[in-house]
Each structure stands twice: as structure tokens, then as C-alpha cells.
Amino acid sequence: MELQFPNQLKGFRTDKGLSQEDVAKQLYISRQAVSRWESGDATPDLPNLIKLAEIFDCSLDTLVLGITPQTDSIEDKIDHSEFTFDPRRGEYIRRRRDGMNFWEFMSSYWWALIPIIAVLGGVLPDIIDSIKSLFN
């Protein structure tokens, strides 16, 4: 894929009515650096690319590759009654239609067994001894 950066940079700069000097001042670089970028003799580093995208209010894809963003997004295609966004995973997951089964419950709440076992471990021998004493 051919880089369209020099053409894009010059186009965005002239559309905004900025001179090479104006762009250079905003980036704290020399005017000659901007001129070399527009002629294709040099390319900016990533921090300067990001600043340029902010100055021209466009995406990096548009600035560097000349790709226009698509108007439809994934948000338009998601059925929110069926899926929900899980911020911990950073992805959409299917909503639950029914309750958890035993193994899903255990995998989510395994830590709840620790106090239950601790209580039963202390009380269970006393219960067994009292039941034995009833039959003796």
C-alpha cells in the first residue's frame, strides 16, 4: 500500500489555510522539516504524526494512507438485546437468557466454598458426635 502522506499533508494544510510555518510552530519544529515531509524527502516520527492528526482533526489512517473512514461502525451492527459490552474483556459478550448451571456458578464463586468448608470443618465433628451419642 502506497503512502499518501505528502499529498495528504499538503491537502489538509491548505484546506485549513495554514502555512508550513504555522504547522511547524504548532509542532515546535522547523518549517524546512514540514517542507521535506510534503516533498516526500522525509517522514515525521510517530508523536508528530499524532499531533498532525489532531491539528487536522483526522485519523492517522486518513493522514498517512489516504483511507477515508467508513460511516458504519460495529455499534450499528450490534444487537444490544442479545449482546452487552464487557469492559473487563474489552469485547461484546452474549447476554444470559437463563440462570447459571452448577459449574458456571462454581467457576465464578469458588471462593465461597472456603468459609463454608471452614465452618463445617469445625462444626461437623460435633454434630457427628451428638448423633453417635443418641444411638448409644
* pLDDT for residue 1: 47
Tell me which residue range forms the domain holding 122: 103-134
Residue 90: inside a domain, yes or no? Answer: no
Q: Interhelix angle for 46-56 vs 20-27, to 10°?
A: 120
- Indicate the pTM of the whole model: 0.51
C-alpha cell at 46: 510517530
Residues 55 and 107 in one domain: no
pLDDT digits (tens, 9 = 90+) for 28-40: 999 999 999 999 9
C-alpha cell at 16: 485549513
Residue 107: inside a domain, yes or no? Answer: yes
pLDDT digits (tens, 9 = 90+) for 35-80: 999 999 999 999 999 999 999 988 888 888 888 766 655 556 777 7
pLDDT digits (tens, 9 = 90+) for 74-90: 556 777 777 777 778 88
CATH number of the domain that residue 34 is part of: 1.10.260.40
For residue 45, the SS3 value is coil
Q: Last residue of some domain: 43, 65, 87?
A: 65
Residues 60 and 110 in one domain: no
For residue 125, the SS3 value is helix
**Confidence at 97, pLDDT banded by 50, 70, 90:** low
- Cβ(3)–Cβ(10) below 8 Å: no
Residue 85: inside a domain, yes or no? Answer: no
Number of domains in the chain: 2
C-alpha cell at 17: 489555510
